[in-house]
Amino acid sequence: MSLKSSSSISSQEQHHQQQQQQEEAAPLMGSSSTRMWTQFKDSFKPPLETSPNSFDPTNSNVNTKDQSQLTDIEKAAINSSSTAMKQDLTLRHLMMIAIGGSVGTGLFVNSGSALSAGGPAALVISWCIIGTMMFATAVALGELCVTFPVTGGFTTYATRFIDPSFGFAMGWNYALQWLILLPLELVAAAITIKYWRDDINSDVWVAVFFAFIFVLNMLDVKYYAESEVILSVTKIVAIVGFFILGIVLICGGAPNGQGYIGAKYWYHPGAFSNGFKGVCSVFVTAAFSFAGTELIGMSAAETSNPRETIPRAVKQTFWLVTCFYLVTLTLIGCLVPYNDERLLNGSSYASVSPFVIAIQNAGISGLPSVMNVVILIAILSVANSSVYASSRVLASLADIGHAPSFLSYVDRTGRPLYATFVTLFIGLLSFIAAYEKEDEVFLWLSALSGLSTIFAWLSICISHVRFRRALKVQGRNTDELTYVAKGGVWVSSYGIVLNFLVLIGQFWVALFPRSEADAKSFFEVYLSLAIFVAFYVAHKVWKRNWILFIRAKDMDIDTGRKIVDMDLLKEEILSEKLRMAEMPFYKRFFHTWC
């Protein structure tokens, strides 16, 4: 390089640094209100500097023309390996975002219909089995996210390790789930208010809740995460409180003097309802109740220390959510008989919640309203998480080339801005809450992505198996991984099998909800499979991609990895193993599995 060109580059760098310092100093001048307005206005601008690992289309080696000619697989590897999103999320943020997305109406409301369909024994059996499937998915996701903390998480892995068409279909199906969930939850929140006031138009409450969600998602991602911590902690406190209350009521401490309950309802009306089909229907409901725990995978690129944070977040979130469901549903099965008519008939979410019914059966006044507040908070928490999830999925799809490129824009505060605006725009569908046929409209909207969670979990397990296969074929092993999933590909294979069993069970229950086949019932659930296949075939035709899956020898298993010193890493792992060997057994057990 000549001295002239060197000095030119140096002067350009100095000019860039001066400009950056001026932009950073600008908000500090003027009045307090002016500074706040300037900071807010500037937050929508692009980041001041590009990440050192980011893909630069102006680079001499990869120009704009080359970028347009990249395949989906190359885009998934290159573009997702860099991000302008801030890496501010910690362990508690990841856990609370996942809990915020998973612990909601599935526990507080839908568990009532599951109890009616399957009985108390079906609740415990189904949630235990699905819990093991979730653990298999969680540890596979943990290994992939620690190795590749890329934008989009598992939506990117499916494109890189399975097939771009599968990644396209799964990514859009998953995005649709969260896009539709936002207006659904806002409408559910308005319905919840009817427990107190049914004389006010539902759209009034929808507007209030929409504004609340809008403001939260216009904050810096760190403050968004803190808001989710507050909402999720409120749910956790309520669940723990119900644990204590449920034990007291079962032991005969109800104020109405109903006496000792114990396992009375397990004998009469019985432990099972509707036989094996009832168990299958609960089996499917249990799978969907865990939806949202995979959000940890969407947050990998926004985590400061993935190697330490993600494995702990994955395992601890799994145990926390699973224990919440199992203990709570066991108590519910003891407190509410499955033939209680209120489980299926009610004017509001609170009136069909088994939690509220259990409290009402005990004759406790005032507490049902408190429980209704918890249900409302749970619904808003899920709505908040849905904006986070769908905006990240849309941004990652844009990075990969599966969505319009403008959706990949990330502003100065680390928000995928345009993707967030699109999500909030879809949220305006919630204003049909006052429409007399809003239930039917949302039923079919939900049908578009009803199986998306199963597709997502299936893709995670398959991606993990394919990644391990690529390591083996390319002559490498797990020694180079910073985190290795417990059980390896065997656990992921178990997850694949169970996911297929859930799809089979859902097919049977959907096609034969009663003794005879019902086409409407079937398409209400399985329409999403048709949408998935349509997306898959359309992408094959559009891209002329006729391969069934990417060959293991052709996979890129390096781009997007968090750069680490392998020698130093091996020393750290050896040091950790020696330190664990000196621990008592119970500490080693906890560290390994929790």
Q: What are the residues whose beta carbons fall under 8 Å from the beta carbon of 467, sequence distance 6 or more?
A: 144, 147, 157, 161, 555, 557
Q: What is the DSSP string of 243-262?
A: HHHHHHHHTT--TT-----T
What's the pLDDT at 211?
93
Query: Which residues, listed in sequence order, are joined to residue 303 by a DSSP beta bridge?
Result: 89
Token pair for 569: 């890493």
Residues in the chain: 594
What's the pLDDT at 224?
77
CA dist 421 and 198 (Å) reads 31
What's the pLDDT at 520?
78
C-alpha distances out from residue 283 to 45, 273, 356, 553, Å: 47, 13, 23, 38
Identity at 117, one-letter amino acid code: A
Instruction: Say if CB 416 and CB 407 are below 8 A apart.
Output: yes
What's the pLDDT at 80?
64
CATH topology of domain 86-205+213-563: Amino acid/polyamine transporter I (1.20.1740)
What's the pLDDT at 13?
44
Nearest to 168 by CA among 176, 153, 158, 180: 158
CA dist 527 and 172 (Å) reads 14
Instruction: Say if CB 167 and CB 502 are below 8 A apart.
Output: no
Q: Which residues of 6-21 are buried (b: 16+ CB within 10 A; e: fewer)?
A: eeeeeeeeeeeeeeee
- The pTM assigned to this predicted structure is 0.83
Task: Locate the domains of the chain by residue range.
Answer: 86-205+213-563
- Helix, strand or coil, per DSSP, at residue 582: coil
C-alpha distances out from residue 80 to 221, 303, 304, Å: 19, 14, 16
What's the pLDDT at 58?
34
CA dist 374 and 230 (Å) reads 12
CA dist 277 and 161 (Å) reads 36
What's the pLDDT at 530?
87
The packing angle between helices 221-250 and 306-335, to 10°, is 30
From first to last of its 594 residues, what are the pLDDT tens digits of the chain?
443 433 443 444 444 445 544 544 444 445 666 776 676 676 667 776 544 333 333 333 344 445 556 666 766 667 666 666 666 677 777 778 777 777 777 788 778 888 888 889 988 888 888 888 888 888 898 888 888 887 767 888 888 899 999 999 999 999 988 898 888 888 888 888 887 877 778 888 889 999 999 988 887 777 778 888 888 888 888 889 989 999 999 998 888 777 788 888 898 888 888 878 888 888 777 877 787 788 777 776 677 777 778 888 888 888 888 888 889 999 999 999 988 888 876 655 666 788 888 888 888 887 888 888 888 888 888 888 889 888 888 988 888 888 888 888 888 777 888 999 999 999 888 887 666 666 677 777 777 777 888 888 999 999 999 999 999 999 888 877 888 888 889 999 999 999 898 888 888 888 887 777 778 778 877 888 888 999 999 999 998 888 888 998 888 888 777 656 667 766 777 777 777 777 777 777 766 666
